[in-house]
Structure 1
Amino acid sequence: MVYTVGLTGGIGCGKSSAARLFASLGAAVIDTDEIAHQLTALGQPALASISAAFGNQYFHSDGNLDRARMRQLIFSDQTAKIKLENILHPLIKQQAMNALSECTAPYALIVVPLLLETGNYDELIQRKLLVDCTEEQQISRTMARSKLTVQEVQAIMATQIPRNERLALADDIITNTGEFSSMQTQVLQLHETYLQATK
């Protein structure tokens, strides 16, 4: 299978920006959040399982998943969160594995927000890459991007392992506390490192 790096980081740290930079250099990017979004689109089989588990109150009248209401539920109810993960995570992982098996790029990045928390992808990846910033930056960036309150961002952060633990578990780290050009430089260096690792 293709050489694979697991890309992760706390909410608001800049995972998507880093992934786009790697993609521009020729890496394949498999984003598990995007897969989850596709799996929960109208007409997808996962919706029937979600409806059976949670009821129709988490759906709009047109049959689309009420993502905002579901998000509020799973970040306030750990049992509901686990129930949803048990439905979606096996489907997401299978899609990611399918994409890896078809990959023709020099190496692949799997973007997994909870990579370090779950260990679900450990057997697929050779390196764990963390995008890191301060907790204050996580909160301010997420609030600006997603229009969430401080409390909502902190609730999401509480489901992720603390920053110091993420830093200790990572093989490689991109520090995203300053200018975008700094991230570009770090990505380019890691890109060369990963290309060398594939040889």
Structure 2
Amino acid sequence: MAKVIGITGGIGSGKSLVCKIFSILGISIYEADTRAKWLVAHNIPLKNSIIQLLGENAYTASGDYNREWVASQVFNNVDLLLQLNALIHPAVRQDARTWIDDHQQYSFVLYEAALMKAAGDGNAFDKVIVVDAPKALRIKRVKARDGRTEAAIEDIIARQISESERLKIADFVINNDEKEPLLDQVLALYQKLKATS
């Protein structure tokens, strides 16, 4: 039976790069944010619930999820955002359960998400990996990658959970600080997870 290892990290931490390395090593990865985007576009019951909550403007005339419009509606309305998340998160959890059931032949799989609780805290995770990097380095990476302003990046970081809170849930920490070789850390963790799965 496959162990489920959660992997998380703040914006610019290098979580996606770490996942890419694990993927090259043959590890299957459930990308919660990517699947959530797919589900709001293709899961008919979820689409209907979103339209019921937000109205017809939640989707374009061609049926695509109107992401920018939805964001504008929930950005300063915490209650509405919570209601929207209460529709999307259960759909993602159900999708993830199906995906995990379909990957039982592996010794372990990764579940990648920006938001995460400690292993066993109301989730299916056996362990949690946190990808960590200094804030200044994260800002520099996101500026180079996305062309966002420093203020915009600071705003995103402020809305994410703090690094200290994230580290509290970590069973394993990968330091992507450009001092410790990243590949060595991922390979060592891969071997450890393989040995204990």
Normalised by the size of structure 2, how large is the TM-score?
Answer: 0.86
TM-superposed CA distance for 1:187, in Å, is 0.8
Amino acid at match of 1:172: F
Match of 1:46 in 2: 46
Distance 2:32 2:153 in 1: 20
Most deviating of 121-130 and 142-151: 142-151
TM-superposed CA distance for 1:177, in Å, is 1.9
Classify 1:92/1:156 alpha carbon distance in 2 versus 1 (closer, same or farther; 3 Å): same
Count matched residues. 196
Match of 1:84 in 2: 84
* Contact preservation (8 Å) 2:120, 2:126: no
Q: What is the SS of the residue equivalent to 2:7?
A: strand
Distance 2:21 2:195 in 1: 18
Amino acid at match of 2:191: E
Q: What's the CA shift string for 1:11-50, capped at 9, x where partnerless? A: 2212111111111112121111121011022574322211
* Contact preservation (8 Å) 2:117, 2:123: no
**Within 5 A, what are the aligned runs for 1:179-198?**
182-198=181-197
Match of 1:154 in 2: 154
**Within 5 A, what are the aligned runs for 1:58-137?**
58-103=58-103, 104-116=105-117, 122-137=122-137
Q: What's the CA shift string for 1:99-136, capped at 9, x where partnerless? A: 1111122211011210038x897531111100111222
Classify 1:55/1:148 alpha carbon distance in 2 versus 1 (closer, same or farther; 3 Å): farther
* Contact preservation (8 Å) 1:39, 1:45: no
Classify 1:83/1:164 alpha carbon distance in 2 versus 1 (closer, same or farther; 3 Å): same
Q: What's the CA shift string for 1:50-79, capped at 9, x where partnerless? A: 121112333333221122333344443322
Q: What is the SS of the residue equivalent to 1:100?
A: helix
Distance 1:11 1:39 in 2: 22
Amino acid at match of 2:91: L
* Contact preservation (8 Å) 1:42, 1:65: no
Q: What RMSD, in angstroms, separates the aligned Cα atoms of the two structures?
A: 2.4
Seq. identity, %: 27
